[in-house]
Structure 1
Amino acid sequence: MIENYLRMGMALVAIPAHAKGPRTPGWQEKKCESVKELTAGNVGLNHGLTGTCCLDVDNAPLFKAWWLAQGFPIDALKALMAAAPLWTSGRPNRWKLLLRAPEGMRTVALHQHGFELRAAGGQDVLPPSVVVDDAGNDRKDCSRPCWTWWRRVVGMTT
């Protein structure tokens, strides 16, 4: 799986086992170039170096209310969710969508509305990573293999 990510041009970052984020200083400017660098723990997608962003929803009802309050049609959200890579930790009302980021986009956190749009300077954990949640339970961070959508959604080639 990690080899597929690298072949598709994803900028990956090494993350300690069971953790959600990298511990290496300067990880935002460096991508791992080999599977060997990434096999000791979890794997993250470096959004700034990959040109992606992630809509990270931690409270789906709050996010849906915000979406509708902006005047966006619910059908547009459903279409986005059907077209883009979507994964979840398995916890209720939480999910992530992977999207192409506009040049220069930075992370926008609207936690009061139940979401964050993570971009340059941010990363997201990818499968086969396993994260331990606050209760100490192992959670697989993706319900489907994310690379299967890579070319269609992000537009990159192998």
Structure 2
Amino acid sequence: MIKRTLALAALVVCVGGMTALPVAQARAAESKAVEAKVDCELKYKLAGWSILYKHAEGSGEITCNNGQRASVKIKVVGGGLTAGKYRIDDGRGAISHVRSISDVFGDYAQASAEAGVVKSGTAQVLTKGTTSLALTGTGEGVNLGLSVGKFTISK
């Protein structure tokens, strides 16, 4: 009777150990998936003007390396010593330090220096908490000045 009880206990321990291993492996894989690095890319067009007050609007598409996508609206407002009218036709943005596409939406702090006549270009890095957005783009217009403001991405 004691031998049967010990054999049954050993069997239960072995079966329990065999089921615990796959569960532990699944939990480790799930934890790595949650911590996986997500990078997103923004392609956009933007047009605006400035005379002390800066205003621009546009649209774009965000794609992330985890398969998430979204069409977005972009709005830029701010102020400073600026004057001009411009258009960005081929804008691109690299968005980092996000866990999902929902972290991309919101207001980014912006400070910029612009100088362009006819062919115009931009390059700047914006932040929203720990999320970073590095923008580049080319277009046309006349713009000159220094400004601060916010760059908003919405659905």
Give the number of the structure with larger relative contact order, counting CA–CA contacts within 8 Å between residues 6 or more apart: 1
Structure with greater proportional strand content: 2
TM-score bracket for the superposition, by shorter chain length: under 0.3
Q: Please, what TM-score do these two structures have when normalized by structure 1?
A: 0.23
Structure with greater proportional helix content: 1
